[in-house]
Amino acid sequence: MTLLLIALAGGVGAATRFVLDGVINARWSAGGLRPGIVVINVVGSFLLGLLVGLAARGSGLSTDTVAVLGLGFCGGLTTFSTASLEPVHLWATGERGPATAYVLVTLIGSLLAAWLGLALAALA
């Protein structure tokens, strides 16, 4: 049953990513830079950090719940493959500055967001 719930939550996460990516890019795209996936990956990293932090503090979240929300929803929401492809495409089209910024913001932003999620959970 847990495997099915993880798969369903992954589908919900992926569908959420699809919708949010479209909304974010429609509002804030500039040139070839599409910020949707960066924002989604940073938010997903925060959510996973918060979830893992709460679970580690004995919040009462079951292992199955953490797996469904963490592996399923957060795993479906975030994407490493698109976060890799977008800067490669920017670089190939001569957008070297935006490509570099994309990589740095994704990496540093996601790490800081995960840390913030863990830190906030520690306060709970």
Query: Is the torsion defined by CA of 40, 73, 118, 120 positive or negative?
Result: positive
Label residue 49 by pLDDT band (50, 70, 90): very high
Instruction: Read off the pLDDT of residues 5-46 as tens digits, 9 standing for 90 and up.
Output: 999 999 999 999 999 999 999 999 887 789 999 999 999 999
pLDDT on residue 111: 99
Going by C-alpha positions, the residue among 40, 33, 49 that lies closest to residue 76 is 40
Going by C-alpha positions, the residue among 93, 103, 105, 110 that lies closest to residue 41 is 110
Extract the tokens encoding 48: 């996973």
Q: Can you tell me the distance from the alpha carbon of 20 to that of 113, in angstroms, rounded to the nearest whole number?
A: 18
HSE-CB for 100 with a 13 A CA cutoff: 4
Label residue 55 by pLDDT band (50, 70, 90): very high
pTM: 0.94
Instruction: Read off the pLDDT of residues 77-117 as tens digits, 9 standing for 90 and up.
Output: 999 999 999 999 999 999 999 999 999 999 999 999 999 99
Which residue(s) pair with 33 in the sheet?
30
